[in-house]
Each structure stands twice: as structure tokens, then as C-alpha cells.
Amino acid sequence: MKLSVAITSLLLVSHSLVSIAQRTPVSYVNTLIGTAPANTESARQHSEASSELKGQTLPSVGVPYAMTQWTPQTRASETKCIAPYYYTDTRMHGFRGTHWLNGSCVQDYGSVTLMPLSGSLKVKPDERASAYRHETEVASPSYYKARLDDYAITAELTGTSRSGLMRFTFERDGEAYVLVEPNSDEGEGFIQVFPEKGEIVGYNPVHRIYQGSGQPAGFSGYFVIRFDRPITQYGTWTKDAIQANTATAQGRGQREGVGAYVGFGSKKQVVTARIGTSFTSIEGARRNLEAEIGNQSLEAIRKTNENTWNQSLGKMAVKGSEEDKTLFYSTLYRTKMSPRLFSDVNGNYPSFAGGTSIMTANGFDYYCDFSLWDTFRASLPLHTLLDPGKTAHMMQSLTMKAEQGGWMPIFPCWNQYTAAMIGDHVLSVMADAYVKGVRDFDVEKAYTYLRKNAFVANADPKSYIAGQGRRALASYLQYGYVPLEDPVKEAFHKQEQVSRTLEYAYDDYCLSVLAQGLGHKDDAAQLQRRALNYQHVIDPATGYARGRHADGRWIASFDPFAKRASFITEGSPAQYTWFVPHDVAGLSRIMGGKERFLSKLDTLFEQGHYWHGNEPNHQIAYLYAYAGQPWKTQRWVSKIAREEYSTTPGGLSGNEDGGQMSAWLAFSMAGLYPVCPGSPNYVLGSPLLEEVQFNLDNGKKFTIRAQGVSEQAPYIQSATLNGKPFTRTYLTHQEIQQGGTLVLRMGKQPNTQWGAKPEDAPPSLSGR
């Protein structure tokens, strides 16, 4: 008897181990992380926004970089800073084909919502909404399911790059309706029902945000919906007034509602809706639907979707605890929501910046929604490392935007110029791609427009106001910094002169790298000199970034730890001081040397001034490695990763911002970080995972193995690269691309000798 029990127990354990071993990357993804108010220390200490604005992610279904994602909807609007779904909401308005920029504080656009209901017909979102329970919710990258308790309807979603499939199971008798709503907040949507074909088509005009806010963006979100059941009744509504047997509705503005409904009879039944989307036309949406879904079942699309995610997520194969695998693969999933595929299956896409013509992407996919102020830091470098082919398409997309609009866009979203954030970080992402071997795009053409951004102040008031050209470039070129006298009025973020100077100096460094690589030596030399402009806004007396007048005087009233200063972007001077990623050694010298540099870093972290919830802080913990104390990088990176992220719905400390918040963690859990995109180096930190294997597109594999790592043992004791002793605190992109194994022996106490020599530190523009 005892033997039988022992054998049974052994079999159960074996089965459990096999189940764990057979789990695929996509099975670890929790898409609900970041959909609830943040519960991290950073959010509690630093956030000045509404708590529901933290995270701002969606439990979206689709494939990586999809044109349209599919999500449950608990908020019925395309209003700025309101995501379609919040975990804490208790009622569901429908299921949306969304173009929400993942984790942002922007707005949805060109979206469409479907809502099933039974019994009486109700069209207002708040009136038709149904209770639902998280206990019956299934959320994964390839499939979503929820039960609408008020109607006894089970809704299921899956999707492809440009199309989606929804299945509604009506569990009780009562007229079965599906409502379709183009979510035009301006009330300009159009919808048409073809009952004999079982089809609804329509569009939702897109409007600009930031510069030119409210103006037409020059395109719409189009959709074609096909139902697999005969339509027995139909109608439309405008201003919430229902008109039965009317096939067409056109919103007339004034923010009035517009939509259509179809009925399928009163018996229990299952209704499937296949939905194609496009930014070019209804016919484009129809082509996308036919090419990607056709008559395939939900199960078939879901399976293909799962395979696509496993292939994409599997480019980083990890070993660690089950909890850490969930944390990691959920993180990696969120980095792949943007940029957004914008072209149809035949390559058609709307011309950039409101042009009326339809363009065709020949030999590449056209992407948009880059959120470059956020994603240049780690999100786009992660794409460059894992998906160099897609990165080339993204770089070509940016080049085409410049050709069509006349200027290289700085923060391209909604297929428009925006002037939304500061800096000129398109220079960073293109230089980073180039130095890491991604060159399958028109680099010389791109350089022409990048150079224009850096050297030409836009003198045309109309196009400058619309967002073309660097903000305050004339001042920057005249003084070598943006003085306080320049209010930078033609920008969404006005003033912020010191932050602009720091970011422009870094961007100039990046363009110098690209200029050098392309043989433009005079440009490279001039840009390298300009890359030192950061020195003009670091006050040697205090060692902090500080506002400066045109005559050279420093701003009189100054507190480096003030949470908001007019000359700083979304942070304090003490935080922004560290944004000199290209010349950390030079920054150290201005501060008065290594000891003062380290002392200021210690003050930032030990006194609680570090704010992980916003991007300008993300590289700071890695800067200890530049000053001979990499063990402090290891301490703080490990602490930040454990305290600022979790697998709960509130497990993000700040807005996801196009994947950047997660890209920091994806890199950091692996044990490295691209402190200075535009250079080929990754600074080592403290891995959270026992092993990460990069399965590279060139067929090589690079492994980082952290022996003995744990939350109590975050410190590197020694290292070997391909069996040879390794003391450098950074890896090069070429070393990773060549394949091999980096073994890190971890311990509970810091080894203050490892990586402490000057030659071990990452290089800077002005040396080590």
C-alpha cells in the first residue's frame, strides 16, 4: 500500500514537472498586468497623476506589432488619457478593435466597438453595459473570454495583424443583438448595414492630438464586419435615437453618438463576427479580412496566433522560477505592442501628415505610433536586438514619413507630426540600428532628413507650428543651449529648456556616429563638438543640471530635488542631471570627479529621489558601472526590478509608454541594459533569471547564465565569457551577435574588485 502511494505521488510529481517543462512562452503571459492602479512604492511617492493613469495597458489580443488589437472595453470613449479597459471597472460596454498606444496617456483613434446583448435594445454605453467577473475572465495574447452576466452571453476574441474574430454565445432565449459603434468622440462616424450579405461596414475619422489638436488627421479607421448568421432585423442610431430598418447612419459632428445594430432571432445561438480593419478604405479592410481570416474558425486563428507569439517570445528562452517566467514573458509581450503596423496586406497606407493620396510600401511594412521619447531608450533597442528585420522596416517607415512630410518626424503618432515631447530621438534609433548592423533601409536618404532636423531651424511658421522641425533649434544653435528666455511656445511641452539641451546634445552625438559611419566627416566632427553642449547646463558649483539665462547667468532660485522645475521635463533637476548617456565620464569631471559623482548617485538613491515611474530615470542605476562601483548598479537594479514590477494587475510603477517600462525590465532581468543607444554597448547589471538564451536571427545563440542568483544574492563575484575571465562591465553588440556564453557567478556580498578598474568601465565620448 505504501509503495502504491509512493508510486502515485511520484507519478503526480513527474506529471507536474513535465507540464512545467512543456509550457510555452505565451502560456506565461498575464495580459492584465498594468491594467489596475499601480501598487508600487515609486507610484505612491512620485506620481502626480490620477492613480488610474498608471500602467495604462490593455489585455489586448492580436499578434506582435499588430495594426489593430482586440480588447474588452470598460470605458466608451476615445478621450485623451482614458484607456479602453481598467481592471477595477465592474461593467463592460463592449469589445473594441483598438489603436490605443499601449500604456500611454494619449488617446485611441479610428476604433470600432461590438457589443452583444439580449432582450431589450439599449444603445447608450452606460445603459447597455453588463456586469462581468474576473473569475470568468480568460486573458492571453492569443485569446480573451468574458461572460456578460446581465445577458448570459459569453464573448470570445482572437485576432491577426489587421483583422479580428469575435464569437458570442447567447445562453438563453431572447432577441440576440450585436451593436456596432464607430467610436468617434467628435460624432463623425459612418456606418452602413447590408442585411442581405450579413455585413456591416463603416469608418471612424481620425483627429490629431498635440500640435494641431482636433484637426483632421487625413485618414480614418475603416472596418468590415461579417456575421455567420442571417440578420433578421437591423437599424441604426444617431444621438441615441434608434431608427429601425434604416441601413445607413452618418454622424454630423457635435459629439453625437452613431451606430448600428443587427438582430439574429430569439433562440439560444452562437454568432461569429469576422472583422477586417484598415487605414486606407473599406475595400482595404475587406482585403485584409479575406487575406488573414477568410472563413477560418476562432480555434484556427487562436492556434496560429499562439504559434506567432511563441516564435516571437521564444527569441529569449529563460530559466528561473515560475513566477519570474510569468513576470518576464508578460514583460516581453508588452514590448511588442508598438510600433504599429499601418499598411494593408497589399502595402497600401495613407500618406504621412495628412496627404490625400494612398501610398504603397514596396518591399517593406509601414509602421507608425513610435512614441520615440520613451521607446528610444530600451524598447526600440530591444526590437533591434531581437527583430532586426522588422527594425529595418521601421527605419524605412520613418524615412518615408520624412520624404512625404518634408521633415523627419520627432514623435510620429496617428501618422502625423505631433511635437508631443522633447528631444529629437529619431536620430538615436536610426544611429542605434545602424551601429548594430541594421542597414537594410535607405540610410543615405534618412541621413539627409536627420541632418536637416539637426542643422536647419524651420523658418516657416505654418509647418513649424504643425510640428515640423526641432523645437527651439535656433536658440540651441546660437547659445549652445536653450536659454530660459526662450519659452518654446510652439510645443506641447513648453519651456523645459535644460532637458531639451541635454537631450539635443545626446541626439547630436547619435547623429555624429551615423555621419562618421556614412563618411560625412565634417558633419561628424561638428556634431561631436555639439554633443558636449550638455556642459553648458550642468552647474559646476552645484554639480546639477540648472536653468541658464542667455547672458550665462544661472537661475537664482534653485532646488535640485524639486519635483517640478519649469526648465525640466517631468522630473527634478537631480534626476535629469544624469541624462548624459554618451559622456558619463565627462559629466563626472564637471561634477568635480569620481567621488562627487558617486556621492550624488548615492544621494539620489539612498534619499528616495529616484523615480522609476518615468523614463528619464531609467539609465541612472547603471551609471555606477562607469565610475568603478558596478556592485552598486547590481544592488539598485535588483532592488528596482523587485519593487517596481509584479505579476498583479497593479504591477507597473508608471505608464507603460509604448513598451519602455517593460523593456527596462526585460533587459534588466536578463542582466544588461543599453544605457546609450547609438553606441554598440550594453552595461551589465544584476540578472534576475538563472539563464537567458538569446536566439538570434543570424542563427547564433548567446547565453547569460547567472550561477547562484537569488534576491539575496544579486552581486557578481566573477565572470567568464566563452570560458575566459571577464571583468568588463559591458558587452558589445558584436559579442552577442557572435554567439557564446557569459557566466556570472553571483553572491550575497558585493565584490568591490570586480569591474572596478578604469579599463573595465564602458567607454564615453571623452574617454573613461
Residue 564's pLDDT is 86
Q: Which CATH class is domain 369-568?
A: mainly alpha
299-341 tens-digit pLDDT: 999 999 999 999 999 999 999 999 999 999 999 999 999 999 9
Among candidate residues 374, 367, 496, 477, the one with its CA nearest the CA of residue 425: 374
User: Among all chains, which residue has been given the C-alpha cell 547667468?
Assistant: 553
Residue 50's pLDDT is 52
Say which DSSP state 677 is in.
Answer: B
CB atoms within 10 A of CB 597: 24
Residue 25's pLDDT is 98
- The cell for 230 is 442571417
Q: Tell me the β-bridge partners of 192.
A: 201, 248
CA pair distance 128, 421, nearest whole angstrom: 38
Residue 448's pLDDT is 98
Side-chain-side CA neighbours of residue 331 (13 Å): 29
User: Among all chains, which residue has been given the C-alpha cell 521601421?
Assistant: 394
- The cell for 373 is 521619447
Residue 111 to residues 70, 148, 199, 641, Cα–Cα distance (Å): 10, 21, 18, 34
What 356-361 contacts at long range (C-beta under 8 Å, 24+ apart), as own/partner pairs, is 356/218, 358/280, 358/281, 359/400, 359/404, 361/397, 361/400
Residue 634 to residues 87, 363, 693, Cα–Cα distance (Å): 34, 43, 20
- The cell for 654 is 508608471
Task: Give 594-633 as a 3 state SS string.
Answer: HHHHHHHHHHHHHCCCCCCCCHHHCCHHHHHHHHCCHHHH
Residue ranges of the domains in the chain? 64-295, 369-568
CA pair distance 243, 82, nearest whole angstrom: 30
Tell me the residue type at 197: K
Residues in the chain with pLDDT < 70? 1-21, 46-53
Handedness of CA 58, 381, 644, 546 (dihedral sign): negative
Q: Does the 64-295 domain belong in CATH 3.90.230.10?
A: no
CA pair distance 747, 276, nearest whole angstrom: 53
